[in-house]
């Protein structure tokens, strides 16, 4: 039962990363208009960032079948998703970004917590 749960956890983590990256890659101008904020000045930086987010989604997709053998990638996911939440929150508090842009960071924080739960369960297993 837990094995299936973790497979779905990492699969949905992959889908989340792909969705966010494609959304911001393709719809950044619409998001800027909707939130009444200036569009990204250096579009290539946004596109490079979203390509990296997409690639990390590929890593989650690949590890879904055997997450226990990919602990370093899980740790990287926990760190990266936590950083996203922290950075977005700081910028929202400082009014550098619209507060709605923190919502994807909240989802990332939830995934970080779920990934951490997986990691803690793995630490209790004997190999």
Q: What is the pLDDT of residues 79-119, one digit of tens each?
A: 999 999 999 999 999 999 899 999 999 999 999 999 999 99
* Cα 52–Cα 54–Cα 58 angle in degrees, nearest 5: 110
Domain ranges in the chain are 2-123
What length is written for the chain? 127
In the chain, which ranges are E strands? none
Distances (CA, A) of 79 to 4, 35, 108: 24, 28, 10
pLDDT at 41: 87
* Cα 78–Cα 85–Cα 95 angle in degrees, nearest 5: 165
Mean pLDDT confidence for 18-41: 90
């Amino acid at each position: 039962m837990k094995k299936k749960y973790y497979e779905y956890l990492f699969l949905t983590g992959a889908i989340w990363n792909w969705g966010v990256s494609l959304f911001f890659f393709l719809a950044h101008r619409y998001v800027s208009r909707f939130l009444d904020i200036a569009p990204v000045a250096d579009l290539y930086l946004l596109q490079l960032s979203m390509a990296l987010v997409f690639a990390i989604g590929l890593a989650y997709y690949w590890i879904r079948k055997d997450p226990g053998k990919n602990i370093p990638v899980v740790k990287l996911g926990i760190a990266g998703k936590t950083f996203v939440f922290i950075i977005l929150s700081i910028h929202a508090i400082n009014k550098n970004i619209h507060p709605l842009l923190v919502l994807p960071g909240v989802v990332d924080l939830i995934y970080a917590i779920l990934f951490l739960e997986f990691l803690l369960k793995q630490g209790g297993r004997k190999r």
